[in-house]
């Protein structure tokens, strides 16, 4: 099976699973415009490769490995949509189809360069979140410094999520801040620094402020800022 086909299926399953919990064969077939029998054969192959868990007549869910690939393709797709919209000025109605063609062909280097050039956008033109990179950096300024000096890159092996994805009372340790030195300094002044434990005490509706507890203090943070603070929940009881 071609890598592009693998990625297309994993991305489709990711979308359906995110919405419905499980990706039914018929739903996958409809999204990809293929016969259900063809989907069943592909799911068997993806299951053998360790990318999905597939139960006949019940559907498929992604394994951790499958989800990692799907999220990487999603990140590329959404970065490309920002590039096509903001830089090339292609109409928003066309950028999704164009990004679909390009997402399987760009390299990691191009993906990272796009992110830096676009100032690490948080969302695509359609409002979907853009996942953080997997570089072992604390913030975007460090990423730029590595690119400027040609320093060897390290990778972040732990999964991080934005503070906005934490449930009330759930705790995480700040592992990455999406933003430049000014953003990092502003958050540092509030006590939100790398390695600091933080928990969510309240989330207001309609993307309103997020109330967090950090260093024995409650803070109300704008949602747009909070979604750029990423935490590792492993080992924190979260």
Does domain 67-131 sit in CATH 3.30.1490.190?
A: no
Distance (Å, whole) CA 163 – CA 144: 23
Question: Could you report how far apart the first and last alpha carbons of the chain are, in Å?
Answer: 38
Question: Tens of pLDDT along 6-38?
Answer: 999 999 999 999 999 999 999 999 999 999 999
Question: Tens of pLDDT along 210-227?
Answer: 999 999 999 999 998 999
CA-only gyration radius of the chain, Å: 19
Ordered by start, the domain boundaries in the chain are 3-62, 67-131, 161-232
Indicate whether 120 pLDDT > 90.
yes
Q: Give the CATH fold of the 161-232 domain.
A: SH3 type barrels. (2.30.30)
Architecture of the CATH domain 3-62: Orthogonal Bundle (1.10)
pLDDT score of 235: 58
Same CATH topology for 3-62 and 161-232: the answer is no
pLDDT score of 66: 97
Indicate whether 68 pLDDT > 70.
yes
Across all residues in the chain, what is the average pLDDT? 92
Q: With contact defined as beta carbons under 8 Å apart, do 171 and 198 qualify?
A: yes
Note the pTM of the prediction, 2 decimals. Answer: 0.89
Instruction: Place 236 in a pLDDT band, splitting at 50, 70 and 90.
Output: low
């Amino acid at each position: 099976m071609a890598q592009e086909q693998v990625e297309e299926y994993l991305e489709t399953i990711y979308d359906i699973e995110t919405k419905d919990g499980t990706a039914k064969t018929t739903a996958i077939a409809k999204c990809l415009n293929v016969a259900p029998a063809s989907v069943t054969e592909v799911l068997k192959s993806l299951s053998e490769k360790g990318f999905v868990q597939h139960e006949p007549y019940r559907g498929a869910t992604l394994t951790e490995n499958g989800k990692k690939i799907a999220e990487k393709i999603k990140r590329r797709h959404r970065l490309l949509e920002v590039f096509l919209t903001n830089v090339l000025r292609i109409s928003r109605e066309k950028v999704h189809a164009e990004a679909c063609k390009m997402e399987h062909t760009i390299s990691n280097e191009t993906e990272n360069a796009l992110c830096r050039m676009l100032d690490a956008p948080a969302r695509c033109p359609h409002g979907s979140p853009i996942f953080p990179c997997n570089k072992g950096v604390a913030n975007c300024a460090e990423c730029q410094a590595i690119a400027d000096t040609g320093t060897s890159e390290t990778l972040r092996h732990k999964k991080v999520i934005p503070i906005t994805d934490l449930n009330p009372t759930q705790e995480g340790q700040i592992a990455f801040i999406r933003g430049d030195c000014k953003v990092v300094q502003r958050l540092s002044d509030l006590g939100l620094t790398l390695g600091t434990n933080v928990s969510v005490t309240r989330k207001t509706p309609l993307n309103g402020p997020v109330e967090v507890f950090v260093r024995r203090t409650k803070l109300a943070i704008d949602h747009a800022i909070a979604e750029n603070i990423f935490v590792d929940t492993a080992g924190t009881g979260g």
